[in-house]
Amino acid sequence: MKGIGPVIKKIPKLPDVKKQAIKLSENVIKKTQKANRFFLAVGEINLFFWLTIKATFSRNFEFKEFLRQCFLVGNKTLPLITITGIVIGLVLTIQARPVLAEFGAVSMLPGMVALSIIREMGPVVTALICAGKIGSGMGAELGSMKVTEQIDAMEVSSTNPVRFLVVPRVLAATLMIPILVLYADALGILGSWAGANIKGEVNFVLFISQAFSVIGFMDLFPAVIKTFFFGAAIGFIGCFKGFTAGRGTESVGKAANESVVLASLCVILIDLVAVQITDMLL
């Protein structure tokens, strides 16, 4: 009987067993809810993507709305892209010139700056700016339409909201962002020439010829192709977050914020994949 006492003391009391069981069940329920939300979000994205593709190739394409969205996308971001492109060229030139001067390779400055702008800096920085400007605008605009039940009114009146609201915005972003990237690249090279003239006089024609002498087809082509995917991702995520916003007014700001975050993340991931593919092709 003396040996049974310590064993009885080690047996947990009944209330402790109930608390442990309740905590375990709560943890299981939380994990199950997280998994359900994840799979539900994946299903919503796939369904929205399929509806967007189906509406894109429908007969009644909203061409006027598409042109209007192209104008809005370009008009909203053009001043910011102009300043950013020039600053990128200036900063790269000012930072790289002292390092190249130590090795006596100042003549390689135009080609190095032009190559870095065209292949990486121009597309990524421009896409991130567009993600913050265009993606948030689309998310907030469609989110406010969802809150005010304008999208529901379109569905009641037999108007396909995906075809009228989503498709023109996604295609406009897909088309305009590559154009904005090329515009930013040109301004970046121009800003680099201006930066090279800070500590000396450099001929413009000579600078441009040296810049483009190192750029080949496989430098420009992959950089342009990936910008189409940047634009499609930014437009799709902005429209998806706005189209699936909640009913409360706070959901508009939430949709705009999530659009910027997810679009920026997608731009970085797409760039990572594009760099790997380009490296395999070279």
Question: Which pLDDT value is given to residue 172?
Answer: 93
Question: Which pLDDT value is given to residue 62?
Answer: 82
Q: Based on the domain organization, do 24 and 95 belong to the same domain?
A: no
How many Cβ atoms are within 10 Å of 261's Cβ, its own excluded? Answer: 16
Question: Which pLDDT value is given to residue 267?
Answer: 94
Indicate the pLDDT class of residue 22, thresholds 50, 70 and 90. low
Q: Based on the domain organization, do 223 and 141 belong to the same domain?
A: yes
Give per-residue pLDDT as tens, 212-239. Answer: 888 888 888 989 999 999 999 999 999 9
For residue 88, the Cα-to-chain-centroid distance in whole angstroms is 19
Which token pair is 49? Answer: 């993507």
The string over 50-70, giving b where at least 16 C-beta atoms fall within 10 Å of a residue's C-beta and e elsewhere, is: ebbeebeeeeeebeebbeebb
Average pLDDT, the chain: 84
Q: Based on the domain organization, do 247 and 160 belong to the same domain?
A: yes
Q: Based on the domain organization, do 175 and 259 belong to the same domain?
A: yes
Give the end of a domain, one of 57, 82, 101: 57
Number of domains composing the chain: 2
**Packing angle, helices 14-56 and 167-196, rounded to 10:** 90
Q: Based on the domain organization, do 109 and 174 belong to the same domain?
A: yes
Of 112, 78, 267, residue with least CA distance to 187: 78
Q: Based on the domain organization, do 53 and 87 belong to the same domain?
A: no
Q: Are 120 and 279 in contact (CB under 8 A)?
A: no
* Cα angle 196, 198, 200; round to 5: 75
What is the residue range of 186's domain? 62-281
User: Tokens 């996604």 identify what position?
Assistant: 170
Question: Which pLDDT value is given to residue 18?
Answer: 58
Q: Based on the domain organization, do 90 and 216 belong to the same domain?
A: yes
Q: State pTM to two decimals.
A: 0.84
Indicate the pLDDT class of residue 262, thresholds 50, 70 and 90. very high
Q: Based on the domain organization, do 171 and 48 belong to the same domain?
A: no
Whole-number percent of the chain with pLDDT over 70? 87
Is residue 25 scored above 80 in pLDDT?
Answer: no
Of 65, 234, 245, 61, residue with least CA distance to 151: 245
Give per-residue pLDDT as tens, 162-194. Answer: 888 899 999 999 999 999 999 999 999 999 999
Q: Are 163 and 52 in contact (CB under 8 A)?
A: no
Q: Based on the domain organization, do 53 and 66 belong to the same domain?
A: no
Give per-residue pLDDT as tens, 104-138. Answer: 888 888 889 999 999 989 999 999 999 988 988 89
Q: Are 147 and 244 in contact (CB under 8 A)?
A: no
Q: Based on the domain organization, do 22 and 76 belong to the same domain?
A: no
Give per-residue pLDDT as tens, 133-144. Answer: 898 889 888 888
Q: Based on the domain organization, do 50 and 118 belong to the same domain?
A: no
Q: Based on the domain organization, do 220 and 128 belong to the same domain?
A: yes
